[in-house]
Amino acid sequence: MIKLEKRPQPSRLWTVLAPLLAVLLTMVVGGALFWFLGANPFEAIRTIFWDPLFDPQFAPFSRPQLLVKAGPLILIAIGLSIGFRAGIWNIGAEGQYIMGAICGAGAGLALYPSDSVLVFPLMILCGALGGWAWAMIPAILKTRFGTNEILVSLMLVYVAENILASMSSGLLRNPEGMGFPGSRNFKQWEAAHNAELIPNTGMHWGVVFAFICVIGVYVMLTRHIQGFNIRLTGDAPKAARFAGVSPARVVFLCLGLAGALAGLAGLFEVSGPAGQITIDFNSGYGFTAIIVAFLGRLNPIGILLAGLLMALTYIGGELAQLMLGVPGASIQLFQGMLLFFLLGVDVFTNFRIRLTKPELA
Amino acid sequence: MDLSSINPILLVASIMVSATPILLAAIGEMVVEKAGVLNLGVEGMMITGAVVAFAVAVNTGSPILGFAFGAFGAAALSLTFGVLTQILLSNQVATGLGLTLVGLGLSSLIGKPYEGVKAPSLPRLDIPVLSDLPVLGRMIFSHDIMVYLSLLLVVAVWAFLKYTRGGLILRAVGESHDSAHALGYKVVRVRLLAILFGGACAGMGGAYLSLVRVPQWTEGVTAGAGWIALAIVVFASWRAGRVAVGAYLFGGITVLQLNLQAAGAAVPVALLSASPYVITILVLVFISARGMHGAPASLGRPFHASS
């Protein structure tokens, strides 16, 4: 008989090994899926994980995309991971991302066509504030009324999507756009454009912010009292209360930070790679970031690596779609499977597997 | 705005149709939560049920087979959640979210060839005598069979939980899994069965969306219905009767806002479209402000026999 025995401490080795094993399992099962869909499994896996980086034909184009896609994923996932550690489940990052983009872009567009150097910093500030404010709704409702933050933050995604639709065909619509929905394009307005900083690397201000956040949050979690309070609240809520940690403050801190970072991600996306506010501007980064946060073990360095890997599956997925005719949705399934395998494999981190002889009843 | 263009008979009839998918999903989720498991994957199971049912119904021409396979497919998907959370002891919140993401991916993969296809429709079941009543007949007694089945299911779940031994065991497992285990009940087995039931119900709910309510397959056809079902369970304080009330209230809001949009009400369309979600939030706030009455004590807590 197989028996699970709880480890007194999570295994250090398996904490690192579990994500790698999960990726491996996903490749095997994903390969089988591609085979079932009529593609060569080895070719498909190579197209997704290898070709975007090293194939001489595709790499020059797709390598910069890696940072473009990883930037927002890392920014959002870092914010989410802080909350997940404290047991605060903000799953509405997609909505905070949209609101950040709308507020940031709106602040910029109000000043059009100014060429002041202050336009872009102001947009960044308003983007962060927009995401923060949207995350404050579940935070206030949770601390004031005890309302479940999972459901509220998720419902707010749908509300934000409706606001986005109304904004892109109403208030923020390009007055010179011949009535088509969609705002002015930031790529044609230098003062507000989040341009590539180093040519052909994909490096823009959002990626820089993502790296800064990785370091900042790492320091906060390991060296700062607030980081300690957050981890304590998640691991032992009662002990945290006895130690004088205010649960409400942790809620505000976690949701606020996650919202602000998601808002920043939205602003950098709208003013850079996306270029404009459109009805379908959001592309699900807020949900994929949940996978990134878990795959990175809620650890900033891990999230950095997981964000890059997840970005790779996006780019590789597009490539596989183009080259092998694999349906685009299979990549979404592929990413979901990764989270599933990780959660399953994690049993080794927290439990020891023991083989025992069947007991006599 | 022309309010007189809204026909009250059709309004009530369409409220019943619009409430049914959420009712099915919510009553299933309530049983799961009564057993102490929080499955946040309702949206994923619903949309999987929707796409499987649609594909089967189109290929076989039988909507009934579609419903059966939709329920079966979603239950099979929910089993992965069951194995992960009950046997491999993963975090229920994270696994439920994962289930939703997997379900969304899986469904758009399966559903691609079915976009723009028309599904065979479920025949209307005119209840003899009652459906001939002047106003009420058209309003309440001439729907398809799933509308009545969903209401019967609510009664069945209520009776099961209240009057049967199995229901008592299920509630015991949800209130205190350690005590239930000490009494010799198989906690994991009971919970797995509840999860399967919840999956099947969510699948039927999804099937109703794609086969009757919309009736079409489009990506993301559930549009948050699964999450609203979760909210309705909280709203209902984990009681079967109130789940029905919640689902019908919500169905009413959805239909009413669609009717107002069609009638050209002087309210922004975005506000009307967002209103079901906003009202769900307001209801949640109202309920939680009164305190979380009736939540099963072991809800969301993992069970490991050794501890």
Are the beta carbons of B102 and A336 separated by less than 8 Å? Answer: yes
Q: Alpha carbon A256 to chain centroid distance?
A: 15
Q: Which of A187-191, A244-248, B5-9 is predicted least confidently? A: B5-9
Which of A6, A148, A351 lies at the smallest CB-CB distance from B284?
A148
Alpha carbon of A239: minimum distance to chain B alpha carbons (Å) = 18
What digits encode the pLDDT tens for the residues A65-95?
Answer: 888 899 999 999 999 999 999 989 998 999 9
C-beta separation of A321 from A47 below 8 A:
no
Chain B residues touching residue A337 (CB < 8 angstroms)? 102
What span, in angstroms and rounded, lies between the C-alpha atoms of A26 and A342? Answer: 9
> How many angstroms separate the CA atoms of B296 and B187, rounded?
14
Q: C-alpha angle A239/A243/A244, rounded to 5°? A: 120
pLDDT of residue A331: 83
The size of chain B, in residues, is 307
Is there a contact between A151 and B224 if contact means CB atoms under 8 Å apart? Answer: no
Best of A148, A156, A290 to mutate (most B CBs within 10 Å, chain B): A148
Q: Domain A40-325: which CATH class?
A: mainly alpha
How many angstroms separate the CA of residue B103 from the nearest CA in chain A?
8
B268 near A CB under 8 A: yes
Q: Which of residues 285-304 of B touch A (CB under 8 A)?
A: 285, 288-289, 291-292, 304
Contacts of residue B288 in chain A, CB cutoff 8 Å? 141, 145-148
Residue A359: predicted pLDDT: 59
Per the document, the length of chain A is: 361
| Range in A180-189, B66-75, B274-283 the model is least confident about | A180-189
Closest CA to A208 of A222, A220, A196: A196
Contact B98, A339 (CB under 8 A): yes
ipTM above 0.90, yes or no: no
In terms of pLDDT, which residue wins out, B218 or B24? B24
pLDDT for residue B279 is more than 80:
yes
Identity of the residue numbered A344: G
Inspect the interface and report whether the beta carbons of A141 and B98 lie closer than 8 Å.
no
Q: Is B224 in contact with B277 (CB distance < 8 Å)? A: yes
Q: What is the pLDDT of residues A111-162, one digit of tens each?
A: 878 788 888 899 999 999 999 999 999 999 999 998 888 889 989 999 999 9
What's the pTM? Answer: 0.88
Distances (CA, A) of A265 to A95, A155, A198: 12, 20, 19
| Cβ contacts of B228 on chain A, cutoff 8 Å | 155
Say if B136 is an interface residue toward chain A (CB within 8 Å): no
Q: Do B285 and A350 touch (CB under 8 A)?
A: no
Distance to chain B for A351, nearest Cα, Å: 9
Q: Is the confidence at residue B209, as pLDDT, over 70?
A: yes
Answer for the pair A30, A334: CB distance below 8 angstroms, yes or no. yes
Mark yes or no for CB contact A336/B80 under 8 Å.
no
Greater model confidence, A21 or B126: A21
Asked if pLDDT for residue B227 goes beyond 80, the answer is: yes
Chain B residues with beta carbon closer than 8 angstroms to that of A94: none
Q: Buried (b) or exposed (e) across B70-106, using 16+ Cβ within 10 A?
A: bbbbbbbbbebbbebbbebbbbbbbbbbbbbbbbbbb
What's the rounded Cα separation, in Å, for the pair A346 and A16? 10
Task: Provide the pLDDT for residue A361.
Answer: 52
Q: Are B62 and B171 in contact (CB under 8 A)?
A: no
Which among A84, A333, A344 is the nearest to B88, CB-wise?
A344
Question: Looking at residues B143-160, what average pLDDT do you find?
Answer: 89
Q: Return the bridge partners of A354, or none.
A: A3
From A26, A6, A1, A3, select the one nearest A343 (Cα to Cα). Answer: A26
Chain A to chain B Cβ contacts (< 8 Å) = 135
The 3-class SS string of chain A reads CEEEEECCCCCHHHHHHHHHHHHHHHHHHHHHHHHHCCCCHHHHHHHHHCHHHHCCCCHHHHHHHHHHHHHHHHHHHHHHHHHHHCCCCCCCHHHHHHHHHHHHHHHHHHCCCCCCCCHHHHHHHHHHHHHHHHHHHHHHHHHHHCCCHHHHHHHHHHHHHHHHHHHHHCCCCCCCCCCCCCCCCHHHCHHHCCCCCCCCCCCCHHHHHHHHHHHHHHHHHHHCHHHHHHHHHHHCHHHHHHCCCCHHHHHHHHHHHHHHHHHHHHHHHHHCCCCCCCCCCCCCHHHHHHHHHHHCCCCHHHHHHHHHHHHHHHHHHHHHHHHHCCCCHHHHHHHHHHHHHHHHHCHHHHEEEEECCCCCC
Chain B residues with CB under 8 Å of A290 CB are: 97, 101
pLDDT tens readout for residues A211-232: 999 999 999 888 888 888 888 8
Q: Domain residues of chain A, as ranges?
A: 40-325
Quick one: what percent of chain B has pLDDT higher than 90?
33
pLDDT at B3: 61
User: From the candidates B92, B102, B104, which should be mutated to test the interface with A, based on the most A CB atoms within 10 A?
Assistant: B102
Contact with chain B for residue A5, Cβ under 8 A: yes
Residue B220 — pLDDT band, cuts 50, 70, 90?
confident
Cα angle value B226/B199/B77 (rounded, 5°): 100
CB contact under 8 A, A291 and B95: no
pLDDT digits (tens, 9 = 90+) for B71-128: 999 999 999 999 999 888 888 888 998 899 899 888 988 888 888 888 777 777 666 6
For A173, the token pair is 């619509």
pLDDT digits (tens, 9 = 90+) for B179-204: 888 888 888 999 999 999 999 999 99
Closest CA to B302 of B29, B99, B161, B95: B95
Interchain pair B94, A158: CB under 8 A: no
Identify the pLDDT of residue B97: 87
Domains of chain B, start order: 3-124+132-290 (1.10.3470)
Confidence of residue A191 (pLDDT cuts 50, 70, 90): confident
Is residue A360 scored above 80 in pLDDT? no
A4 touches B at CB < 8 Å: yes
CA distance B99 to B226: 12
Report CA A24 to chain centroid distance, whole Å.
Answer: 22
Taking the CA of residue B227 and the nearest CA in chain A, the distance in Å comes to 7
- Residue A357 phi/psi, 5-degree rounding, is -75, 145
**Structure confidence at residue B4 (pLDDT):** 65
B282 near A CB under 8 A: no
